[in-house]
Structure 1
Amino acid sequence: MSLELTLKDALSGLQTSQAALQSISNNIANANTEGYSRKQVSPKSLVIGGKGFGVSVGEVRRSVDEGILNLLRNETSETRKLEQQDTFLSQINKFFGRPEDNSSITHKIADFASQFDALAVSPEVEASQFLAVNSGADVLRNLESLSDEIQRLRNTANNDINTTVTEFNLLVETIAKINGQIVQFENSNLDGSELKDQRDRSLNSLAEIVDIKYFDDGTGAVNVFAGTGQTLVNGGAGLKISYASPSLIVSRSEYTPKTATNYIGPGSSGHPVGGIPGIFVGEEAPNTDITTGISSGRLKGLVDIRDFELPMLQSQLDELAEKLKVEINAVHNKGAGAPAVFGFTGDRYVQAGTRFEGTGQVRIGIVDDNGTLRGLRKSGLSETS
């Protein structure tokens, strides 16, 4: 072996050791860096003509347990869903208040009942009359305010869905782009480990939004699928999701899939008035709608809040208002005016000869103490007089 080859052999050893030391230095420096994986340099013997001529840097391996990483992403996705729901439910819980709070609907209904009890004892006292009416109006205002808050939060959740869809698409685009770069690096025998760390961080962020499945296709690229099975990333190509967000969510608004009987087909929105469109992967079609198929992630939490949790709360509030109305009317109907009224005089004056035109029917009934109808008089309004 010539002196030159001997020196090159020694130099290759020094260069390889330097690369290994650089890798160790990076590992130490990034020990607390989120998303960084420890790297390990594997030396590779140089062989020329069957003889060894030094050493070179071989594969740079990342110390990553893919099984644990996949489990972490699944658990993170579920956690983000629950955190998203907790954020909204905590807001509405503060608005409803605790039962013992003076501003809570529970306290206002109890106060309303107390004022009616006081009115029953002294119905002729104007102060009792005023307090009873005022407390009733206070209950109504509180019910309206709670309903408005529920719809406000539904609109906030819907706006967040729109924003999250945009964030999701950027991540899909990023992963597809990095896939292409990694494939090029590996085909050129270059180190793509840092790019893989970057891709892992994007996959972590994607898993926070929806539940995903993925696998390495053998070329260095990772193919990603939605939990419902639709392809999101295939090599260097990404498929975006779309959501045509309605401008306003109202109490009657509900998710309307393309397969629904009241779906009206192509048009300005493709959905009936009050309908909320789905979230689609790629082209809009029944089999690309993932709205109800998402099982975890922030997007799932937002959809559940908008379409299930808050509407259910609104339904309970409506039921409370309906029962309150029925009970108040039942109590009111048991009473009677004192002194009894023998006639009614209208306060709307019309000129003589004015013709009345109307349609409909007025029904006046008489019931006994048990609420049984004893007499009924009908008067038609369809005549012109």
Structure 2
Amino acid sequence: MSLNLALSSALSGLQTNQKGLDLVSRNIANVNTVGYTKKIFNQESRVLSGTGAGVQVTEVTRRVDFGLIEELNRETAKLEELSVRSDYYDRMQDLFGTPADNSSIAHIMAELVEEVETLALEPDKTEQHLATVQRAEDAARKLNSMGTRLQQLRLDADQEIERTVDQANGLLHDIQTLNEEIAYALATGRDGTDLIDQRDVAVQQLTSLMNVTTFTRGSGELTVYTEGGSILVDREVKELNHTALSDMSPWQTKGGRDIQGITLNGADITDDITEGKLSALIDMRDSVLTDYQAQIDELTRGLADTVNQVNNRGTSYPNLANEYVGTRTFLDTTAQEITLDASHDTVIGLFDADGTQVDSTTLKTILGSPGPHTLEDVRADLATWLAGAGGGALASPSVTFTDGKLDIKLNSNDYGLSFKDVKTVDPGDPATWVHEDATISFNADGDGASTTDSTHQGFASFLGLNDVYTAPRADWAWDSGVKSAGWRPFVGGDLVFSDNDPAGGLNRGTLTIAGTDTLQDIADKINDDPGLSSFLEAEVVREGEGVRLRVKHREGYDMAVTQSGAGTDVMTALGLGVSSAGLSNDIAIKDEISANPSLISRGSMLYNADTGEYTLSAGDNSTANAMAEALRGTQAFDSAGRLPATTRSLIDHATLTLSLNAREASTNETRTDYQTGLVDTLNRKHAEISAVNMDEELAQLIIFEQSYAASAKVIATTAEMFDVLNSIV
């Protein structure tokens, strides 16, 4: 019996050492295999009926530190996130540059200011008119480029999200396939450690894409959940879904449901993804890039408003302006009204080629009173005056509203028209009048006399008659100011929505706002109202550290939002106005000025007390000086993107955006360098524990080789003893 036991024990040793040699061979063969972990040969004494009966292999295990693997996965996900951000910040840096770069928007704006200052010195030189307009056009094109590139980056991020979601789905299917193979191996007593290695690699890759949680069942199968608890893998795969857009515009946001979220079983789980590559791409598409778009749009608004306001105060003489096409679109000129303030008026002058006055009047004179007057009355009275100006000097002047915009044509190359707002210190003595913008009170919804919905500075500026910058788009969207998510107006009132849709018109719909309504409450009220939602859609769009209310016309018609009655406290509290979103993408030089740069304003009408008439001078540089001063001076900028409301010059505001981008890029680069070092350290620690060590394996090889030989020797010796025993018997 003892010889049989010895033979059995030796045979078990032979078999066990053979398995050990196989395992060492496997470890050595996979020394460079990514994700492969060192396999440990676990053996124990075999006992039969209380008596030792050799040795047996219990199981093959992996030498791993599970806590270290989890930490490595988390930090790798952070590194992937930072790497994605680095890529996009690098591309933004190429776009924005630094303030000192010749191609940066700050430098281009500085060049524009310099050209305007030169224009003030040389107001009569045609080549300087061309150079000034060219610099203004350079600024517009740079802003166009920045806006377009930002939207291209958003589109790239959205399309990369789609590809990454497909990659994640592929990994989920890999995990499920490996789950099935691992469960089968464990159920049949086979070694499944190599399969578990492969599954760990898939989990690490999945974790680098998005944050997930996992749980291992007793069968060896791995269940995968989203951070919010939704099942991704549990004996079957639940696929993620995202369809990218083919084109991206500043108006398109996830908050406005223009961009599809990442869905699982039809439910949006985008907010559950807070780590990994997908998190960075989502943040770039919906936060970082949209914030920079908002900042560039606010800069564009400041540039356009500043240049247009000043240019509308002046004249382009000796180049006669014989046609004015307004840029403001009016919804109903027969009902909408304006009123001039009591202490100001607008001088209207008709001049010949020598700059000599042919005729002049004031707006209050031809209207008969400060107002209110409908826009149609203003048009008709201005047309009547032009027809009789200078004793009928103009053969066929016309004043019309074309697509809601005022269009004044003298239909003569011999005369020019000019406007000048003045403060009438002594209404009867033009010599005392001071050049100063008139205040225009505008009743946008035509809801009754003495109702002011908004005020505007300058008659020509209000109409946009002599704008330099324009944007060929409708006022179809209105935004509130940036507010906190829980902000409330604490004043109530009725908002009135009007449009120029042939099926609509003024006072098309009304919404009652309560003082306790949040922006989301207001958006929900609009969307839930059958009448309003038939032509409007409202959304709450995140921006910077807050949110905006955005109301859009479904059909893209021009729209006005006013407050019912005489007050504007709700409108003021909301900060509701025509949206600037995408303005940088659309801004352009007005066609008339682009075609004839000499139409840019340099001077203005001058009153001659001796003759009692106005005159124009080719050497007058008053408007050019005023424009240079305005461009150099400070102005108020609203909160936009990641920049707070501030007062500074256009150049400084442009520099602030560039500096912010450079600072964020530098910070991200520093964090990426640190994270790279951290992940490298964790990888080294993981390798020290789990990677195959050739010295260890060769030492084990010798041990198993010797053990194998010893077991074989025991078997041979036992066989000889059996032979001796047989010969005795």
Aligned with 2:99: secondary structure? coil
Aligned to 2:87: 87
Q: Is the 8 A contact 1:40 1:60 kept in 2?
A: yes
**Once the two structures are superposed, what CA deviation does each residue of 1:28-50 show, in whole Å capped at 9, x if it has no partner?**
45444331111111113334444
- Of 21-30 and 356-365, more deviation after overlay is shown by 356-365
Note the 1:144-159 alignment, pairs <5 A: 144-159=144-159
**Once the two structures are superposed, what CA deviation does each residue of 1:229-256 show, in whole Å capped at 9, x if it has no partner?**
211111x322111113333222211104
Aligned with 2:56: secondary structure? strand
Does structure 1 residue 135 correspond to structure 2 residue 135? yes
What is the identity, as a one-letter code, of the residue corresponding to 2:157?
A
Aligned to 2:538: none
Aligned to 2:308: 329
Per-residue deviation, 1:168: 0.4
Aligned to 1:254: 253
Q: Distance in 2 between matches of 1:237 and 1:56?
A: 37
Aligned to 1:280: 263
> What stretches of structure 1 of length at least 5 have no aligned partner?
257-261, 263-270, 347-351, 380-385
**Once the two structures are superposed, what CA deviation does each residue of 1:194-226 show, in whole Å capped at 9, x if it has no partner?**
000000000000001001111212221111111
Aligned to 1:71: 71
Aligned to 1:240: 239
Aligned to 2:436: 370
**Once the two structures are superposed, what CA deviation does each residue of 1:23-69 show, in whole Å capped at 9, x if it has no partner?**
23433454443311111111133344444332222211111111111
Aligned to 2:272: 293
Q: Is the 8 A contact 2:226 2:272 kept in 1?
A: no
Q: Distance in 2 between matches of 1:32 and 1:376?
A: 78
- Superposition RMSD in Å: 2.9
Q: Distance in 2 between matches of 1:248 and 1:222?
A: 39
Q: Is the 8 A contact 2:155 2:245 kept in 1?
A: no
Q: Distance in 2 between matches of 1:376 and 1:114?
A: 28
Aligned to 1:383: none
Q: Distance in 2 between matches of 1:194 and 1:100?
A: 57
Q: Is the 8 A contact 1:143 1:321 kept in 2?
A: yes
What is the identity, as a one-letter code, of the residue corresponding to 2:168?
F
Q: Is the 8 A contact 2:37 2:62 kept in 1?
A: yes
User: Residue 252 and residue 114 in structure 1: after superposition, are their counterparts in 2 closer, same or farther (change >3 A)?
Assistant: same
Aligned to 2:288: 309
Aligned to 1:175: 175
Q: Is the 8 A contact 2:213 2:226 kept in 1?
A: yes
What is the identity, as a one-letter code, of the residue corresponding to 2:248?
I
Q: Is the 8 A contact 1:210 1:298 kept in 2?
A: yes
Per-residue deviation, 1:335: 3.4
Per-residue deviation, 1:370: 2.6
Aligned with 1:12: secondary structure? helix
Q: Is the 8 A contact 1:217 1:223 kept in 2?
A: yes
Per-residue deviation, 1:151: 1.1
Q: Is the 8 A contact 2:421 2:459 kept in 1?
A: no
Q: Distance in 2 between matches of 1:228 and 1:79?
A: 22
Q: Is the 8 A contact 1:363 1:376 kept in 2?
A: no
TM-score (norm 2): 0.45
Does structure 1 residue 164 correspond to structure 2 residue 178? no
Q: Distance in 2 between matches of 1:336 and 1:192?
A: 86
Aligned to 2:393: none
User: Residue 376 and residue 140 in structure 1: after superposition, are their counterparts in 2 closer, same or farther (change >3 A)?
Assistant: closer
Q: Percent identity?
A: 33
Aligned to 1:265: none
Aligned to 2:350: 342
Matched length? 350
- Of 73-82 and 301-310, more deviation after overlay is shown by 73-82
Bigger radius of gyration among the two: 2
TM-score (norm 1): 0.83
Q: Distance in 2 between matches of 1:194 and 1:14?
A: 24
Q: Is the 8 A contact 1:367 1:373 kept in 2?
A: no
Per-residue deviation, 1:332: 2.1
Q: Is the 8 A contact 1:154 1:249 kept in 2?
A: yes
Aligned with 2:270: secondary structure? coil
Does structure 1 residue 103 correspond to structure 2 residue 103? yes
Q: Distance in 2 between matches of 1:360 and 1:14?
A: 98
Q: Is the 8 A contact 2:61 2:193 kept in 1?
A: yes
Aligned with 2:55: secondary structure? strand
State the structure with bigger RCO (CA 8 A, min sep 6), 1 or 2: 2
Q: Is the 8 A contact 1:46 1:56 kept in 2?
A: yes
Q: Distance in 2 between matches of 1:211 and 1:361?
A: 54
**Once the two structures are superposed, what CA deviation does each residue of 1:84-108 show, in whole Å capped at 9, x if it has no partner?**
1221121011111121111111111
Q: Is the 8 A contact 2:73 2:207 kept in 1?
A: yes
Aligned to 1:185: 185
> What stretches of structure 2 of length at least 5 have no aligned partner?
321-348, 353-385, 388-395, 409-418, 423-434, 441-457, 464-729
Q: Distance in 2 between matches of 1:43 and 1:212?
A: 36
Q: Distance in 2 between matches of 1:18 and 1:162?
A: 50
**Once the two structures are superposed, what CA deviation does each residue of 1:8-28 show, in whole Å capped at 9, x if it has no partner?**
421220221232233234334
